[in-house]
Amino acid sequence: MSSAVDFGPTNQAAPNPATQVEMYRRMTLIKQNDEASRKVIRSGRLLMPYYSPRGQEVIPCAVSVNLNDDDTICTIYRGIHDMLAKGVPLKELWAEIAGRITGTCKGKGGPMHITHPSSGAMLTTGVVGSSMPIANGLAWAQKLDGSRRITVAYFGDGATNIGAFHESLNLASLWKLPVVFVCQNNRFAEHTRYENCTSVDQISKRAAGYGMPGITVDGNDPFAMYAAAHEAIARARNGAGPTLIEAMTFRFFGHVFGDDDSYMRKEEKAEAISRDPVPAFRAKLIADGIATAEQLAAMEAKIADDIEEAIKFALSSEVPPPGELLRDVYADGGVA
Amino acid sequence: MTSQTKKTNIIAAINEAIAQAMEADPKVLVLGEDVADREGGGVVGVTRGLSTRFGDDRVKSTPISEQAIIGAAIGAAMMGYRPVAEIMLMNFTTVAMDMIVNHAAKLRFMSGGQTGVPIVIRMLTGAGIQSGGQHSDYLEAWFAHTPGLKVVAPSNAEDAKGLMLSCIADPDPCIFIECVRALGTTFEAPVDVQPIPLGKAKLVKEGRDVTIISYSDMFLRAQAAAATLEQQGISVELVDLRTISPWDKETVLASVAKTGRAVIAHEAVRSFGVGAEIAATINEELFGALKAPVARLGAPFTPVPFSNALEQHFLVKPEQIIEAAKATMKVAAPTSVN
């Protein structure tokens, strides 16, 4: 990261070798899936709004390896990485993106509204900031249940300037909810640079205003991100309340597929891409003797096959029948 | 067998319904500004006693944070709870419209039926008590225009209790409108109120000449108008809609098919209001059977004013309902042109 931010000590929990490999697997899945998505859109095989998460892979992978299957997440339209990291199955995900009946939401939600409760993926919202108030509700239920389940709310830096962020942090802190707020600070709110729309130099400072711990961490450093997530999740699970994590990262592409990203500086983008966290972590795993190049290559090939298969499954699936238009408006079918 | 009745009011009726639901189902929760007893049990006391009886974990006062209130209700509902959220006044739903319209209403559909949002959003509203332009609006048409929401507006204590029981049990988000002017009114209601199905109007009085359709507070004015019309020899059939969405087309159309005349009255501004939807449906379904154009009454197209002098002109008066009904009686049948 090209940042003067002091990320503080990183002497906390470290992922064990198996977890490191799993983090890499999920990062690779997200990276390859993004490449496949852009290819499919470019080829004209699918038409959809696409918000690339490329460059932000580490964050949800480091978070989700600290989560249990029955922990829940809420994310936003740039959230396909969060969904994949939590375990939303590729085939249903692709079928949803393709608007098919076999999709997670029968093709009625689309890429901005992926939902897959059996993976704990409860909500993808298309509205900036709206993952947080609902994440509080999930966490409130988990607390009332007396369970040790927790919820993670993902959102971007732009979302910290909308009222829902402030209302949500206040309530979560007041009610000591088992929720972790993970801000993926990719330096841009749509097209506007961070410093041109945000009143503080670090979003984590806003946590103090709500009486909760706030930490800024290098979100592209798998170990630092893992440690921050580990601590915040443990705090939530142990009933000590919420944490705000500001994970510094960089969006490799424009806001939405097809925008010319002229508002991004070429040099900073090139620099971020040169520090691509996925191949960097791959090299580290090999250098540290955690995995061999052959093992990782086999893993990557398997992921490529899985994605290819998911795309085939999606594109060969049926579209929803017209009756689906009126189904699920209400539990008992449509009423007018 | 005669069922026992008692004198009660809408506040007590809703309180009883929520308490009954909380007693029967530990998943029923209450949240909102000032709803716990420490804060007085709600701005007019609808939730009074509930936190003492069911505990502070299930009855939670919140900050003045409407998005956070509805968001918390939505999330808990997605996990199997049944939150009853209070938004103090209907105008304050505007602060939480993203949560209500983009999320509560749509999550079932957008998730392909995987996540439901069984919440009740309670709110007070109504003009006539000099609360001015931001504390008095009837905004039911906005919510009725939103697929995924149900909209309920009782006019009396029995319906308030029966409909609240049904809203809490309903698997979908319900907007529950409490009419401010009638809050203190004493009603005779059964001691044992059963849940009243949503989407079912009440044929309050049968008549031959004209059907008057209304709901919420305005229904009480419609009822007063009907009594006067009866004294003047006009036989009125009176329908209390009770649920605005989904509305009971069957009951309304059957009544208007019989009388051939319809007057719709509501407190909200007339333009683009619920009355327009009902009138259009009557015209579509009963064109040949109508003896007069469908009349609809609502407030003029203006914000609710403060001054009592103006506010009284804002609200539809019983006299206007009487006039409208009489006007439908004076329409001559069209002569056939050969």
pLDDT tens digits, one per residue of B293-307: 999 999 999 999 999
Q: Is the pLDDT of residue B155 over 90?
A: yes
Type of residue found at B217: D
Average pLDDT over every residue of B75-87: 98
Domain B202-330 has CATH 3.40.50.920: yes
Of B57, B67, B147, the CB nearest to A167: B67
CA-based radius of gyration for chain A: 19
- Quick check: A248 and A1 in contact, CB under 8 A? yes
Question: What per-residue confidence (pLDDT) applies to B235?
Answer: 98
The DSSP code sequence of B241-278 is --EEES--HHHHHHHHHHHS-EEEEEEEESTTSHHHHH
A162 touches chain B (CB under 8 A): no
Is the CB of B78 less than 8 angstroms away from the CB of A137?
A: yes
Exposed, middle or buried: residue A93 (CB in 10 Å: 0-12, 13-18, 19+)?
A: buried
Q: Compare CB distances from A115 to B66, B71, B115 and report the shortest one's residue.
A: B115
User: Alpha-carbon distance B273 to B95, whole Å?
Assistant: 21
B29, A144: Cβ pair inside 8 Å?
yes
What is the overall mean pLDDT for chain B?
A: 96
| Long-range contact pairs involving B142-147 (C-beta distance under 8 Å, separation at least 24) | B143/B100, B143/B175, B143/B244, B143/B245, B144/B244, B144/B245, B144/B247, B144/B274, B144/B277, B146/B100, B146/B101, B146/B105, B147/A329, B147/B105, B147/B106, B147/B109
- A107: contact with B, CB 8 A cutoff: yes
Helices A17-42 and A90-97: angle between axes, nearest 10 degrees: 20
Q: Which residue in the list B16, B33, B66, B86 is annotated as catalytic?
A: B66
* A113 contacts chain B (CB < 8 A): yes
**Beta-carbon separation of B76 and A135 below 8 A:** no
In A, residues 215-254, which contact B (CB 8 Å cutoff)?
A: none
pLDDT tens digits in sequence order for chain A, 336 residues long: 334 455 554 457 889 999 999 999 999 999 999 999 999 999 998 888 899 999 999 999 999 999 999 999 999 999 999 999 999 999 999 999 999 999 999 999 999 999 999 999 999 999 999 999 999 999 999 999 999 999 999 999 999 999 999 999 999 999 999 999 999 999 999 999 999 999 999 999 999 999 999 999 999 999 999 999 999 999 999 999 999 999 999 999 988 888 888 888 999 999 999 999 999 999 999 999 999 999 999 999 999 999 999 999 999 999 999 999 999 999 987 554
- What pLDDT does B333 receive? 57
Q: Residue A3 has what pLDDT?
A: 40
Three-state DSSP at B298 gives strand
Interface of A with B in 191-210 (CB under 8 A): none
ipTM tops the 0.85 cut: yes
Residue found by looking up tokens 């999930």 in the block: A138
Sheet architecture: strand order including A151-156: A121-125, A72-76, A151-156, A179-185, A243-248, A214-218
Looking at domain B5-190, its CATH class is alpha beta
| Catalytic one of B16, B33, B103, B135 | B135
Instruction: Name residue B202's beta-bridge partners.
Output: B240
B58 Cα to chain A: minimum distance (Å):
8
Alpha carbon of residue A12 to chain centroid: 23
Closest CA to A183 of A226, A137, A132: A132
pLDDT band at B331 (very low <50, low <70, confident <90, very high): confident
Q: Which residue has the tokens 């450093």?
A: A221
Q: What is the pLDDT of residues A13-71, one digit of tens each?
A: 889 999 999 999 999 999 999 999 999 999 998 888 899 999 999 999 999 999 999 99
pLDDT tens, residue by residue, B101-139: 999 999 999 999 999 999 999 999 999 999 999 999 999
Sign, CA torsion A158/A160/A162/A168: positive
Task: Give every CB contact of residue B164 below 8 A, 6+ residues apart in sequence.
Answer: B13, B14, B17, B18, B21, B120, B176
CB-closest option in B72, B171, B172 to A140 = B72
Does the beta-carbon distance from A138 to B113 stay under 8 Å?
no
pLDDT tens digits, B256-289? 999 999 999 999 999 999 999 999 999 999 999 9
- CATH 3.40.50.970 in chain B, residues? 5-190
- Whether residue A108 lies within 8 A of chain B, CB to CB, comes out as yes
Catalytic annotation on B135?
yes
For the record, the structure tokens of B88 come out as 């103090």
Give the span between the Cα atoms of A84 and A64, in whole angstroms. 10
Predicted local distance difference test score (pLDDT) of residue B338:
46
- Does B175 contact chain A (CB < 8 Å)? no
Q: Which two tokens stand for residue B111?
A: 């998730």
Tens of pLDDT, residues B6-56: 999 999 999 999 999 999 999 999 999 999 999 999 999 999 999 999 999
**A117: nearest Cα among A166, A151, A78:** A151
Amino acid at site A60: P
| Interface contact flag, B110 A113, Cβ < 8 Å | yes
The yes-or-no verdict on residue B335 having pLDDT over 60 is no
- Among candidate residues A113, A166, A263, A275, the one labeled active-site is A263
pLDDT band for position B3 (cuts 50, 70, 90):
confident
B176: enclosing H helix or E strand: strand B174-179
SS3 assignment, position A141: helix
The Cα–Cα gap between B173 and A331 comes to 10
Domains of chain A, earliest start first:
17-325 (3.40.50.970)
Neighbours of B206 (CB within 10 A): 12
| Phi and psi at residue A111, to the nearest 5° | -60, -25
**Chain A contact for B197 (CB, 8 A cutoff):** no
Q: Which pLDDT score, from 0 to 100, does residue A1 have?
A: 37
Q: Point out the catalytic residue in the list A26, A100, A230, A251.
A: A251
Strands B28-33 and B59-62: parallel
